[in-house]
A and B are shown apart, each in its own frame.
Chain A
Amino acid sequence: MIPRIYIPADSGALALGAEKVARAIEKELRERGVEAKIVRNGSRGAYFLEPMVEVATAEGRVAYGPVKPSDVKSLFDSGFLKGGHHKRWLGAPDKIPFLAKQTRLTFARCGVIEPLSLDSYKSHGGLRGLQNAVAMAPADIVSQVTESGLRGRGGAGFPTGIKWKTVLDTTSERKYIVCNADEGDSATFADRMIMEGDPFVLIEGMAIAGIATGATKGFVYIRSEYPHAVATMNKAVAIARKAGVLGVNVLGSPNAFDMEIRVGAGAYVCGEETSLLNSLEGKRGVVRAKPPLPAIQGLFGKPTVINNVISLASVPIIMDKGAVYYKDFGMGRSRGTIPIQIAGNVKHGGLFETAFGLTLGEIVDEIGGGTASGRPVKAVQVGGPLGAYFPRALFDTPFDYEAFAAKDGLIGHAGITVFDDSADMMKQARFAMEFCAIESCGKCTPCRLGSTRGMEVLDKVAAGIEAEKNLALVTDLCNTMKFGSLCALGGFTPYPVMSSITHFPEDFKPAPARVAAE
C-alpha cells in the first residue's frame, strides 16, 4: 500500500506555513525515492497544532504538529511514514485532548476526508441525509428539522424548521435557498472551515432545503476575504453537478436543484440577511425593512430560505440520524451542538464543537488553556464585533442562547475572543462605534449617525472632558441605537459598548496621565 500523507490546505493551516511544509515533504519524497500520496485535507481545527501533518498507518492515522519545514528531514529519519516517534509526534488525532473532548456532528468529516472527493465524502456517511430526503414528502422533511430543535447558527437563533415551513407554505413558481457565507464577525471561522474542509456537506444541506421547501435554485454568498473557500466551493459544485447530486434529477429523483457560488465585495453589513439579498440582486447592500419576511418575499421578491452555513451543514446529519438523535444534545431551548470558535489571545485556539451548556469559564480556561501571552484573562468578547465583553465574574454563564441573553450578551455565531489584562476597554468600546461607522449601510439614522457621534463622545470621555456627563450621553445614545436601528449592526453595537462600560468602569475613569501623554 502506498502511504498517505495528509497536509491541510485550510486557510488557517496555510497561514501557518502548510504550503511550505507540503513542498518540503514532496522534495524529501523525491530525494529519497519514496512513493507516497499527499492528500490536502481540511483542518480539524486545532490551530495551535497547525500545520498538523497526518500519516495513515496500519494502526490508523498518526498526527505530527506543529510541523515546520525544517522538521521534515528528521520526520523522515524517524520513520514518520510508519508513525515513528519524533518531537512533533501527537499520536492518534482523535486522542488529542482538544479533539477528543469534542462532539463532532456537523464537523465530523472536517480535516478527516479529502474535501473534493465525493467518494471520500460518501464513505464517511455523506449523502445519506439527502438519500432519505428524496424519498420523503417535503412537509415531513420540514417537521424533522423543526423537531430537531435546530436554530439559526448565524447568530439570530431563529428556529430553522419554522423558517422552512413558511417558505414551503408560500405558493410561488420560483423559490430560492440562499446560504449566508458572509462570515464577517471577528473570532469566527467555522463557515470557512466547513467550506474548505467538507464542502459537500453544505451542498447536501442546501439540496435538502430545496426539496423540503420546493426551491430549485440555491446561492452561496461567500465573502471575498475567503478566496480559498470560494475556489473549493466552486469545484465542489461542479463535481456534485457532474455526479447528479445537483441538477434536474437530484440523486435520480424527480426533484430539481442547482446552485451557484457568488462572491461578496467587502461589505460587513451584507452578512445581514436582507442586505445580502440586495447584494445578490446586484444592488447596494442596504438593509430592507421587515416585514415582508424573506421567507415570503426574499430574493427577487420570491420566497427564500436564507440560512447560515452551519445551519445548513447541520441538516444532513439530522436527516441521516433523525431529529431525536440531534435533539438529545444540548440544554434548554438550545439543542444539538455548536461549533465554538476560540480565538484571539488564547493558548489553545481553534474550533471546538460541543453540545450547548459548557460554561464560558470552562471554554476559556480549560479548553482554551488561558491566554497565549500567559497574562490573566481580562475580558472575553462573545459573538463577534456586535457581542458583549464578559468579565471573569460572568464566567459561570452556560453557552446557551437564552443564558447569554439574560446576561445582556449574545452567542452570535459562537466566536469568542480572549483579551489579556493589557486590553483597554475604552479603546474596545470606541472601536465598536468606529467599526459600526465604517460598515453602516446608511439606511437608518441611529446606526449611520449614532456610530459617529458615539465615537466622538467616547473621545471626549477619553480626554477627560465632562466624563460623567458624556458617559450618560453614550448610554442614552446606545439605547436609541438598540431600539431604533433597522438591523443588528446598529442595534447590537451597543452590546460591546455598554458591556465595556458596565463591567469595566475603571477603564472609563478620566485619566489625567492619558491627557498629559498626548
Chain B
Amino acid sequence: MPMQPASTEIASRTAAIIEELKDLEGPLLPILHGIQEEFGHVPQAALPVIADGLNLSRAEVHGVVTFYHDFRAQPAGRHVLKLCQAEACQSMGSDAVAAKVKQLLGIDFHETTRDGSVTLEPVYCLGLCACSPSAMLDGEVIGRLDDEKIEEIVAEVRP
C-alpha cells in the first residue's frame, strides 16, 4: 500500500487547496475533489481543516463527504476498474462480465486486491449505452466488453 502522509502534512496541503478554491460560490465540492486528487482519497485529518476554513461544523463536512459515492475514505488500488451495471449494460450481459472479472481478480465490488494493484467498483452508467457492456479503467472508457477485452484489462492491472 502507498505510504500515507502524516496528518500535519495533510493539514498543510489541504489548507493550500482551500485557499485556492474558497472564493468560489459553493466551494465545498470543488475542494473535496481537489483533496481527493491530491491524496487519492479524502483523509479524516483533512475534515477539521475544511470545517475551519469554510466555517462549517465537522459534522456538516462529514455529512457531505459521506453522501457522495466518489469520495473515498481509504486510498484505492493503483488501478481503479469500474464496471457499468446499469440497465443498458445488463441487457448485454454485464452480470456475466462482472462475475468473470471478479473471479479473475479474486475480489468483489468495493474491494481492492491484497497486492494493492486494483480496486473494483460498480458504476451506474457511463453514458456508453450504445456500446454495452462498458467499463472505465483509470478514467479511460472501454466499450463492448468481451472475453478478450476482459483478459486484456486483467493482464494490464495485474501484470
Contacts and interface: CB of A to CB of B under 8 A. Distances in A.
Majority-rule SS of B interface residues: loop
A271 to B, nearest CB: 11
A423 B25 contact: no
Interface string B80-124: 000000111111100000000000000000000000000000011
Contacts of B68: 264-267, 285
A343 B132 contact: yes
Interface stretch (B2-10, B12-20, B27-35): B27-35
Contacts of A351: 130
A209 to B, nearest CB: 18
Contacts of A265: 29, 32-33, 68-71
Interface string A31-69: 000000000000000011010000000000000000000
A263 B129 contact: no
A349 B125 contact: no
Nearest to A46: B130
Contacts of B143: 12, 15-16
A224 to B, nearest CB: 6
A369 B92 CA distance: 16
A48 B123 CA distance: 23
B94 to A, nearest CB: 10
Interface stretch (A71-79, A140-148, A187-195, A455-463): A187-195
Interface residues of A, number: 65
B130 A47 contact: yes
A300 B64 contact: no
A349 B126 contact: no
B29 A279 contact: yes
A186 B29 contact: no
B131 interface: yes
A224 B70 contact: yes
B61 to A, nearest CB: 10
B63 interface: yes
How big is chain B's contact interface, by range?
Answer: 35 or more
| Chain A CB within 10 Å, residue with most, of B29, B71, B87 | B87
Contacts of A189: 127-130
Given A280-B26, A385-B87, A11 B124 contact: no
A186 B86 contact: yes
Interface stretch (A80-88, A152-160, A413-421): A413-421
Nearest to A435: B124
A188 B67 contact: no
B144 interface: yes
A186 B88 contact: yes
A473 to B, nearest CB: 24
B139 A262 contact: no
Contacts of B136: 225
B129 A344 contact: yes
A381 interface: yes
Contact of B70 (A266, A349, A385, A423): A266
29 contacts: A12-B130, A12-B131, A15-B126, A184-B125, A189-B127, A189-B128, A189-B130, A225-B127, A226-B127, A260-B24, A264-B68, A265-B69, A267-B67, A281-B26, A282-B28, A282-B29, A282-B54, A283-B64, A284-B67, A285-B68, A341-B130, A343-B132, A345-B92, A349-B131, A350-B130, A384-B87, A417-B87, A428-B90, A431-B87
Given A281-B26, A282-B27, 19 more contacts: A11-B141, A12-B128, A14-B141, A16-B131, A186-B86, A187-B88, A189-B128, A225-B125, A268-B124, A283-B64, A286-B67, A345-B91, A345-B132, A351-B130, A385-B86, A417-B91, A418-B91, A420-B91, A438-B124
